[in-house]
Chains A and B, each alone.
Chain A
Amino acid sequence: MKNIVIFGAYSAIAEATARHLAPSGGRFFLVGRDSGKLDQVAADLKVRGATETHVFASDLAVPAGVLASIEALYGTFDTVDVALLAHGTLPDQKACEADAGQTLAAFEINGLSHIGLLTLLAERFETQGTGTIAVITSVSGDRGRQSNYVYGAAKRAVSTFLDGLRHRLAATSVQVIDIRPGFVDTPMTAAFDKGPLWASPDKVGADIARAIEKGRTVVYTPWFWRYIMLIIRNVPAFVFHKTKL
């Protein structure tokens, strides 16, 4: 029986991932801001096969929320087998450019809170010597682009942190997974026109569940983003700067 914690548990991708994990049973600890929404996800996972569900309402955008949720987590579970970090928001790039306060707030919820959680979790995972830490970052961390670099930079910080953490835990059996979704059709991206590159949360959730099961390291989902980003990373600046990307 696995103990699974999900931060940002009612985000579309987290919920879809949990649905793929629940049929094999497991005890779930769900963290998010709104306890009503957490309860709905918990009930759903219970029907799908989760053996136990716990919810903890906490605002991860403030450091106190990060500390409180880790404390509550280890008050409930002695050990954690899978930790999935899926919370975050899509900041308004233009608004961030005009307001340092918004930029810093975007960094807090999309980067610093992850780094805080990971610091606390890493210690526990290092001691227990096993388990999986999976973090949803983004393809947008692969290269800064004028349209989205505040979000991208926060995600890149997390990715680099994960690289280091993976290095540190290499001697243990702890898996550290960096999940980089491309465009996903979720409430967070409701304002965008959708094209053929867009994937459903269900598809991305299935990929994440598989990555957790198989213990991958860096996962692009859907898979073709690995190649799109390979190209984008390698486009010379004099060409890249002419694009509107």
Chain B
Amino acid sequence: MSSGPYQSWGRIDFGPQIGMRFDQRLSPLPEVETGKSILPYGNGRSYGDSCLNTGGVLIDCRHLDRFISFDPESGVLRCEAGVLLADILDMAVPRGWFLPVSPGTRLVTVGGAIANDVHGKNHHRAGTFGCHVRSFELLRSNGERLLCSPAENTEYFQATIGGLGLTGLVTWAEIQLRPVANAYIDQEVIRFHNLTEFFRLSEDSDEKFEYTVAWIDCLAKDVSLGRGLFMRGNHAPEIARTEPKAPRDGPSIPIAPPLSLVNQLSLRAFNALYYHKQRGDDDNRQVHYRPFFYPLDAIGNWNRIYGPKGFYQYQCVLPMEGGEAGMTEILRKIAAAGMGSFLAVLKIFGDKPSPGLMSFPRSGVTLALDFSNSGGKVLSLLDQLDGITSAHGGAVYPAKDARMSAELFRQAYPRLAEFSKYVDPAFSSSFWRRVEGPASQDSG
């Protein structure tokens, strides 16, 4: 048993967690009390209960973090599953290589990136993280070590990518990095005034830009509904003028304040300021990759600003067909409730398929935003959002979720039955027990 407390990023209380350290990839899985399930735990950046195992045991892989090999000619990296994406960047960028796919934080482990099949601003081009995984070793509770790749143990490969850590423990993985000339991004930021403009900008940009994403002001209503800033960028072919300095991380939030600092007033002020922060409608510049990809990593433990009760994040994807209407409906609901967050992120996913059976990203439009945990009020809003997502044939992202119904999960992940065959009988999670139950028990 070792160092806790284990939490997920949303800081909602799911009960005490027990962890056991696993830091030698050749070791067998730790022995646990009979009847207790196990779940790999990385850096705890999933927002809800998918990385927690209340009543069971977490296999703490944070120190399973050694590089194994790297070929600077081909960009193929093999490393243990607890290596952080940040460590990969620190090692690889000076040698001209970059992550093939970057989520919104670099503080996730490789194992977590696989288990959640994470995506980034280049989904329309590169697909998910899983698309760039060449192989990995899966340690099963019966002691078997399966080498999984698109060609070998294919079913386990597909089930483990996006498999929420339930198919066994990934000890190491081999991923294909992508070449870059330097650490900089040529970035453009364009203001847009409503949702229709967002869709038009996206369509124009996805051809010419590897990275596209939009921030929207989810408190804006009526004609301004869906206004925001569209960010797009490419890896800089060369560094402009003098090399800009690499940014330093800012302060860390040392403790959780007794109350959430995120409320209607602070939100409205922040969102309006952010929307108007640049003078013109366009702003072009070269920036370091860190502020471009990971703006929130600069504030350590930013999740604490939501106070002791934590927060929910909601991320859904709606198919393109009817997507604009669906998003309009969702944004109206959020604006009317006045409960949105600092960061509502909007992005068009492309149609590159992931190898993962349970992968969340799929062709369509995705929205992600935080909600302070104000109890019943926010839960009922989220249920209403689920209703809209479900009616449009969309899906909610398990890595962000702490409350979706079993019914919605089943509907959104049609390959669930196939996936279940590869779930390791000794593995489970709080999330899995919540959504795996009979659909009829949940009202959604």
Contact = CB atoms under 8 A, between A and B. Distances in A.
6 contacts: A23-B91, A43-B67, A43-B69, A47-B77, A187-B21, A198-B3
B289 to A, nearest CB: 18
A191 B65 CA distance: 21
Given A12-B63, A40-B66, A187-B23, A47 B91 contact: yes
A47 B3 contact: no
Interface string B69-83: 110000001010000
B26 A47 contact: no
B2 A48 contact: no
A194 interface: yes
B68 interface: yes
A148 B70 CA distance: 43
A12 B21 CA distance: 13
A36 B26 contact: yes
Q: Indicate the member of B3, B4, B25, B26 with the most A CB atoms within 10 Å.
A: B3
A47 B70 contact: yes
B380 interface: no
A160 B73 CA distance: 50
A185 B63 CA distance: 11
Contacts of A36: 26
A23 B94 CA distance: 10
A220 to B, nearest CB: 22
Interface in B248-307: none
Given A36-B26, A47-B91, A190 B2 contact: yes
A47 B2 contact: no
A203 interface: no
Given A36-B26, A187-B23, A43 B3 contact: no
Interface string B56-67: 000000010011
A194 B60 CA distance: 15
Nearest to A15: B66
Nearest to B25: A40
Interface string A180-197: 000001010010001000
B24 interface: yes
B99 to A, nearest CB: 15
Interface string A40-59: 11011011110000000000
A40 B68 CA distance: 7
B66 A185 contact: no
A48 B67 contact: yes
Nearest to B62: A200
A63 B351 CA distance: 64
A190 B21 CA distance: 8
A94 interface: no
Which size bracket describes the interface of B in this complex? 10 to 19
A215 B433 CA distance: 55
A109 B354 CA distance: 52
A12 B24 CA distance: 12
A227 B4 CA distance: 27
B66 A44 contact: yes
A241 interface: no
Given A43-B68, A48-B67, 16 more contacts: A23-B91, A40-B24, A40-B25, A40-B68, A43-B66, A43-B69, A44-B66, A44-B67, A47-B69, A47-B70, A48-B91, A185-B3, A187-B21, A187-B23, A190-B2, A194-B4
Contacts of B1: 190
Contacts of A44: 66-68
Contact of B66 (A12, A41, A194): A41
Contacts of A233: none
Contacts of B3: 185, 194, 198
A187 B3 CA distance: 10
A47 B67 contact: yes
A36 B27 CA distance: 11
A144 B68 CA distance: 42
A168 interface: no
A245 to B, nearest CB: 21
A44 B24 CA distance: 13
Interface in A132-186: 185
A37 interface: yes
A43 B26 CA distance: 15
Nearest to B92: A47
Contacts of A185: 2-3
Contacts of A47: 67-70, 77, 79, 91
- 6 cross-chain pairs, A with B, having the tightest CB-CB distances, nearest first: A47-B67, A44-B66, A194-B3, A47-B70, A44-B67, A190-B2
Nearest to A185: B3
A43 B91 CA distance: 14
B73 to A, nearest CB: 14
Nearest to A40: B66
B236 to A, nearest CB: 23
A41 B25 CA distance: 12
Interface in A10-68: 12, 23, 36-37, 40-41, 43-44, 46-49
Contacts of A23: 91
A37 B24 contact: yes
B135 to A, nearest CB: 17
B22 to A, nearest CB: 11
A49 B87 CA distance: 13
Interface string B1-35: 11110000000000000000101111000000000
A47 B71 CA distance: 9
Contacts of A48: 67, 91
